[in-house]
Amino acid sequence: MGTLTKEQQTEFEAAAFRRLVEHLRERNDVQNIDLMNLAGFCRNCLSNWYREAAEAEGVTLSKDESREVVYGMPYEDWKNLHQNDASADQKAAFELNKPHK
């Protein structure tokens, strides 16, 4: 692979981010707890990382604003439309796999 310019790297990273967000919006059948159990992050994590990146550049975003970037709608609306109650198995797996801080 040739050397990328900083601008190319940023453009490609942004395109990958946009594609990931689009994919997660399309796969609203995949619950956040499933993502956490399998990958160690979820849509909320992604929105938190987005907010942290904005704040690192001096831009203030609320949790609700950053979540809307990822969910494509207000978080409460997404939860009402797509979120199911976690099963006992999902909750147990989460307890075993959750990050230790």
Are 34 and 83 within 8 A, CB to CB?
A: no
Residues 7-41 have pLDDT tens digits of 999 999 999 999 999 999 999 999 999 999 999 99
The total number of structural domains in the chain stands at 1
Residues 46-70 have pLDDT tens digits of 999 999 999 999 999 999 999 999 9
In a domain, 52, yes or no: yes
**Cβ contacts of 84 within 8 Å, gap of 6 or more:** 31
Q: How many CB atoms lie within 10 A of CB 45?
A: 16
Closest CA to 81 of 31, 45, 17, 34: 31
Report the CATH number at residue 53. Answer: 1.10.3340.10
In a domain, 33, yes or no: yes
Structure tokens at 82: 């797509």
In a domain, 91, yes or no: no
In a domain, 67, yes or no: yes
Domain of residue 45: give its range: 6-73
pTM of the model: 0.88
Between CA 59 and CA 31 the distance in angstroms is 29
In a domain, 17, yes or no: yes
